Copies of this chain bind each other. A is one copy, B any other.
Amino acid sequence: MINDKLLNPKSVVVVGGYDDVAKPGGKVLKNLLDSNFEGDLYVVNPKLDEVQGIKSYRSVEELPQVDCAILAIAAKFCLQTVEVLTGNKETGGIIILSAGFSEENEEGAELERKIVEVIDNAGASLIGPNCVGLLNQTYAGIFTTPIPSLDSQGVDFISGSGATAVFIMESAVPKGLRFSSVYSVGNSAQIGVEQILKYLDETYVHGESAPVKLLYIENIDHPQMLYKHASSLIRKGAKIAAIKSGGCEAGSRAASSHTGALASPDVAVEALFRKAGIVRCNGRDELATVASIFMHPVPKGKNVAIITHAGGPAVMLTDSLSNGGLEIPHIEGPKAEALLEKLFPGSSVANPIDFLATGTAEQLGHIIDACENDFDEIDAMAVIFGSPGLFPVYDVYDLLDEKMKSCKKPIYPILPSVINVKDEIEHFIKKGRINFPDEVTFGDALSKVVATEAPQKEEIILPKIDTLAVREVIDSAENGYLNPDSVFKLLDAAGIDRAFERVVENVDDALAFANEFGYPLVMKVVGPVHKSDVGGVVLNVTNEETVRKEFDRLMQIKDTYAVLMGEMLSGT
């Protein structure tokens, strides 16, 4: 499905290229030119010989061989164009930006099916239709802006919605997030989110491939494919965050209207993500924040040092991280005192480490060094440094950048002064760094990342099931009810763990069970069907006296012929 001509074309044609950059066919050509595509670039426009300085052919038939075609023409012309391209021009990658296919009506759906058939038969790849395109380090086959900074160690981003892809980039770019590739799958006629994830999994080389994958999805057509490749990628060392929207009833109706998605039950999505190790996000800002966290080293544990020159944000961040299950451990001892000596009077190193509004870059360096080398309990540092607008803070942000290069523990930069030191933050981001402008948004996202467990093991080991024994128990059931002993046999035969239990008929056996397994215990009558209604269940039995007393009482309940003793488990 996904081939090299789509991803790394040596030549690209824009079919329907215009001079007018307010049209998709004009803007995609401009983006290709602006991003300095190194291969051959052509245009097809029936009325022009040159578009934006690029040679234009009057028809597709006149084109030379071309690896990849981007179609920005009316839907009705697409099928015949694709036939010529795949049949005569050896085109292997097709991106159809145009709308008017399955998202519109049955006629469009039929046209879409025919196009896919032609492309499948030619062994070619199709992105779209009804999408904003594809952007990677080879070419900007996308008709929208912004074009983010490209970086092979950035983010691979796959979106089931074109406009949402744009808006997610608008949230991510100001934070400093860089992208390796952006796929807008549109109607997913041939290639959807899952197929791209599969490709990214199968080609993944840890340390070389882009380490972070982001997904925006409204429907999961192939949950097993998604699970398989997401968990595989994460096992290999990649990190994945995703928005799966349309979870609630009204949201599901909204998604259905938008991308024609059928409702995926939200509990199933939740389970799939949890088993795969995907961090689930609810909004664009959260997704971009989680991705920003992913771009830092992974903390070895849950202990965070909060380093700040301003108290308030540190207090709010402490609340956020603590409530999210992280620790802000108290720092003390001779090394802490040695650090305090290097700071201005009134500073605190107890954690948060507050080096005051007057704190310097040099002092920040001492603090980071101490957290990196001296305070073994610290797993990560969050550095908060803004400005009241009195003087520049380039020295502090340069120091931060240097320390981030040399430290093994992650350092998360929280730079709240997006107005006062706008230039310094831009300077910091230009070095490839990321800013977390809001400490609580950061803290909540970090908590979510840390709380997301590793994917389930690849091989799921199911218990051995003794089918013969299961059959025997079932066949021996007389009236549809099983007595406790038969239930135990059945569970054991099916390999299902169970609480220790024993049916006893006298108080000595009851006490023997209690001595063997310890307290607290559960006692239930054997005989009556609705045990609770007749007072036949005793929870939290904690001593011998109660065992004796309750045994006698239970045996007096009508129909009771024995007592079931059991371990006290939650939910018993």
Residues of A in contact with B (beta carbons under 8 Å apart): 21-24, 27, 103-104, 132, 143-146, 159-164, 166-167, 169-171, 173-174, 216, 218, 243, 245-251, 253-255, 257-259, 282-286, 306, 309-316, 318-323, 327-328, 330, 345-346, 348, 350, 352, 354, 357, 386, 388-391, 416-420, 437-441, 533-536, 538, 550, 553, 557
Contacts and interface: CB of A to CB of B under 8 A. Distances in A.
Given A160-B312, A170-B419, 5 more contacts: A163-B357, A243-B316, A253-B350, A257-B352, A535-B557
A540 to B, nearest CB: 10
Given A170-B417, A245-B312, A318 B23 contact: no
Contacts of A249: 322
B310 A167 contact: yes
A416 B145 contact: no
Contact of A318 (B21, B171, B254, B389): B254
Contact of A314 (B23, B159, B258): B258
A250 B327 contact: yes
15 contacts: A22-B391, A132-B388, A160-B312, A163-B309, A164-B311, A167-B312, A167-B313, A174-B419, A243-B316, A253-B350, A257-B311, A257-B348, A283-B438, A283-B439, A285-B441
Sorted nearest first, the 6 A-B pairs with minimum C-beta distance are A535-B535, A283-B440, A258-B311, A164-B312, A145-B389, A163-B310
Contacts of A162: 357, 388
Nearest to A164: B312
A323 B283 CA distance: 13
A532 B106 CA distance: 64
Given A167-B312, A245-B316, A283-B440, A250 B161 contact: no
Contacts of A327: 250
A379 B389 CA distance: 42
A164 B354 CA distance: 14
Nearest to A309: B163
Contact of A346 (B103, B255, B316, B538): B103
A240 to B, nearest CB: 18
B170 A251 contact: no
A172 to B, nearest CB: 10
A391 B257 CA distance: 26
B246 A319 contact: yes
